[in-house]
Amino acid sequence: MSQAIAKEVLKFAGQPVLLNELRGKFGFSEDGIYMREEYSSADMGGKRNSEIFTGATATLRGLCITRDGRMRLGSGGEGGAYFVFKKLEDGQMDAWIEEQKLPISGGTLPFMSAEEREVAYPYEKRPQ
């Protein structure tokens, strides 16, 4: 399995206001039909390493990836849910996160030390 970081942006009144970060790993079945995600830690709901997501898993079935690797489709099984993932260019996600004033590293947390804030929001120190 390979290491994975998933970022989830929550909106309020159409504006991105909170970023959750899930950390874990993912892998594919030998036949390539299934992809499994396993998360071991997460910054969620304003809490670092929230217990809510520890040990959470997701399995996507019927996985399709475009030849150029830019789009991935899968179904979550029951309920008819489909997931569409688009691959971004290098730096594109960080630029969007910075534009929204969200943390580049980790999730949105209400209380951080100065050192933690410097890592999470490195763009705050850059000259404009």
Ordered DSSP codes for 71-91: EEEEE-STT--EEEEEPPPTT
**Do residues 53 and 44 touch, judged by C-beta distance below 8 A?**
yes
Tell me the pLDDT of the chain (128 aa) as tens digits: 889 898 999 998 988 899 999 999 999 899 888 888 899 999 998 999 988 777 788 888 877 888 888 888 888 766 677 888 888 899 999 999 999 999 999 999 999 999 999 999 999 986 66
Q: What is the pLDDT of residue 35?
A: 87
Beta-bridge partners for 15: 12
**Do residues 9 and 21 touch, judged by C-beta distance below 8 A?**
no
Non-local (6+) Cβ contacts of 93 within 8 A are: 7
Q: What is the pLDDT of residue 10?
A: 92
Q: What phi and psi, each to the nearest 5 degrees, are found at residue 121?
A: -125, 65
- Per-domain residue ranges of the chain: 2-89
pTM above threshold 0.95: no
**Do residues 48 and 42 touch, judged by C-beta distance below 8 A?**
no
